Amino acid sequence: MSVVCKGRDSTHRGERCHSWDLSQFICPFAVRLLTQIALADLMILAVKAGARADGFVLGMEAVGALRAGEAENLYMMFEAALEKQLKSLSG
């Protein structure tokens, strides 16, 4: 996954999958949440990290910190990371 932070490229675990243009305020948190999902070594920890990411997006949406479409893009990015991690932990 890759998150673009206002012109800077923050790569998540060396993977480049999707790029979302996020403000510099939101970007470090998104990268940290993606990292927590990817580093979870138990399914329950991955699910908890995914729920934390979901709550983060909901909170940013609630305070109006995301432009139209950004929330949905973040939800999809976190969901894809969670699904990938859960598959790797189950196999």
Q: Could you report the per-residue pLDDT of 49-90, keeping only the tens digit for each?
A: 999 999 999 999 999 998 878 899 899 999 999 999 999 999
Quote the pLDDT of residue 1: 54
- Separation of alpha carbons 31 and 61, rounded Å: 17
Amino acid symbol at 87? K
Dump pLDDT digits (tens) for 12-52: 444 333 455 677 788 889 999 999 999 999 999 999 999 99
- Separation of alpha carbons 9 and 21, rounded Å: 10
Quote the pLDDT of residue 37: 97
- Separation of alpha carbons 84 and 62, rounded Å: 27
- Separation of alpha carbons 37 and 46, rounded Å: 5
Are 33 and 73 in contact by the 8 Å Cβ rule? The answer is: no
